[in-house]
Amino acid sequence: MSSNLTKSRSAALYERAQKSLPGGVSRNTVLRDPHPLYADFAEGCVVTDIEGVRRIDFSNNMASLLHGHAHPAIVAAVTKQLSRGTAFTLATEVEVEYAEHLCSRSDSFEKLRFVNSGTEAIMGAIKAARAFTGRPKIAKVEGAYHGVYDYAEVSQSSKPSSWGSADHPANVPVCHGTPASALNDVVVIPFNDPERAVAILNEHKGELACVLTDLMPHRVGLCPADKEFVTALRKWTQDDGSLLVFDEVITFRLDYSGAQSWYDVCPDLTAMGKAIGGGFPVGAFAGRADVLEVMNPLVENLRFPHSGTFSANPITMTAGLTAMQLFDREAAARLNALAKSAMTGIEAAIASSGVEACVSGAGSMFRVHLKTQPPRNYRESFATPEENARLKLLLDHLFDAGLMMINTCSATLSTPMGEAEIQTLVSAMESGFKKLA
């Protein structure tokens, strides 16, 4: 039999893809060894690939799908809008309705602007902060991912060989050729270390437009920010005249009003994306009306002109509004309780197997680390080559057991899930831990 007849459909498709796509993909996260798998269709919390294999989806497109796949209400609403048009050089009523709905979910959202991705939301928030303060520099947390904007991505891939001292983390570029001028306009602070963070910020008084932080940064270890850390950043920015910007592109799914509802702190701006799109590309940044006034094209001194061809397109607005209306307080509480049940079960599996591992997370997201204690910052979360090799064994085991995870061994839940899916995950984790032990 020829090799072409034995080759899987996914292998053949990847062979084609490499001829037209760099690396054969448009997003690196879909790569697997020896080739990516390709989705055929999905429903609820189950994805079926083109080979006909079904898997429970704990990745949910990198945390963006609150209601899993093909939710009937979202499908119906979008299908109706499709027949009426997908994009116009006119505003739409659903844009206004959705803006009103999102603003109603958080006291810190006085006004907002829709964009097309989380990266755009971060870019917009930073540019609005610069326009409002007249200052160029920003501060961000070491190791935190905020999209692909030159300034926001500084230090997100630093390593022990490049990250410098804890008292002054180095400004490490992600992309080769990043301008030194971009690196020089970013101040890097450690996560969950208010004393060190404030000491670094004090060296840049009067220079910063904003301090940008994620309240539970994935790449930093998926541990919630300490209240003392968030409070210290709020106090420092208020005293300095700079703005506090929360990146809730991922974490807005963690509660009805986002992760910021867990803190007695009100940010000046919040960036959102992922889940608020209802399965479609989306971004938004919201916050103080006086700050967002820098984008008002009707004022005499417009400081931040902004537009976007697909910003607030009616397909995304319709899907997003439907999804977030479904994600009411009851739905958020139920999903978070399921995640807590999963974390408790995984912790029990760790104890019974004797493996060196732990779980971090909150809300509807959690992450398994092959460490004894949950990390509190990027340096503690950094995995050694041995840990990465063992983590790959665990991820491969879970995948073979019919479970899709984010490639850091992180999980995000969706509303179609129930205790049955949680128990399947916990059982697969336990057998995986025993293999590692």
pLDDT surpasses 50 at 97: yes
> Helix H segments across 218-313?
227-240, 289-292
> Which tokens in the block code for residue 309?
């061809």
Q: Could you read off the pLDDT of 206-219 as tens digits, one per residue? A: 999 999 999 999 99
For residue 257, the SS3 value is coil
Q: Could you read off the pLDDT of 329-343 as tens digits, one per residue? A: 999 999 999 999 999
Q: State in Å, rounded, how far the first CA of the chain is from the last one.
A: 41
Total number of domains constituting the chain: 2
Using DSSP bridges, classify how beta strands 46-49 and 39-43 pair: parallel, antiparallel or unpaired: antiparallel
Write down which residue in 276, 299, 326 finishes a domain: 326
Residue-averaged pLDDT of the chain: 96
Residues 192, 61 share a domain: no
Q: Could you read off the pLDDT of 51-79 as tens digits, one per residue? A: 999 999 999 999 999 999 999 999 999 99
> Which pLDDT score is estimated for 6?
66
- Residue 173 belongs to a domain: yes
Q: Could you read off the pLDDT of 10-52 as tens digits, one per residue? A: 999 999 999 999 999 999 989 888 899 999 999 999 999 999 9
- Residue 7 belongs to a domain: no
- Residue 241 belongs to a domain: yes
CB 70 within 8 A of CB 42: yes
- Put simply, whether the predicted model's pTM sits higher than 0.85 gets the answer yes
Residues 196, 280 share a domain: yes
What CATH number does the domain containing 382 carry? Answer: 3.90.1150.10
- Residue 17 belongs to a domain: no
CB 217 within 8 A of CB 367: no
Write down which residue in 276, 308, 326 finishes a domain: 326
Residues 238, 107 share a domain: yes
Using DSSP bridges, classify how beta strands 243-247 and 208-214 pair: parallel, antiparallel or unpaired: parallel
Residues 246, 176 share a domain: yes
Average pLDDT over every residue of 317-322: 98
Residues 161, 88 share a domain: yes
Average pLDDT over every residue of 134-151: 97
Residues 218, 103 share a domain: yes
CA-to-CA dists, residue 274 to 5, 100, 395, angstroms: 39, 19, 23
pLDDT surpasses 80 at 5: no
Q: Name the β-bridge partners of 213.
A: 246
> Which pLDDT score is estimated for 276?
98
CB 219 within 8 A of CB 378: yes
Residues 380, 232 share a domain: no
pLDDT surpasses 50 at 3: no
Write down which residue in 285, 308, 326 finishes a domain: 326
- Measured distance CA(29)–CA(50) in Å, rounded: 18
Residues 412, 299 share a domain: no
Residues 58, 123 share a domain: no
Give Cα 172 to chain centroid, integer Å: 21
Residues 349, 306 share a domain: no
- Residue 23 belongs to a domain: no
> Domain of 53?
37-66+328-436
- Residue 1 belongs to a domain: no
Residues 258, 334 share a domain: no
- Residue 2 belongs to a domain: no
What CATH number does the domain containing 103 carry? Answer: 3.40.640.10
Q: Where are the beta strands (DSSP E) in 215-267?
A: 243-247
- Residue 19 belongs to a domain: no
Residues 96, 166 share a domain: yes
* 207: amino acid identity, one letter: E
Average pLDDT over every residue of 177-203: 97
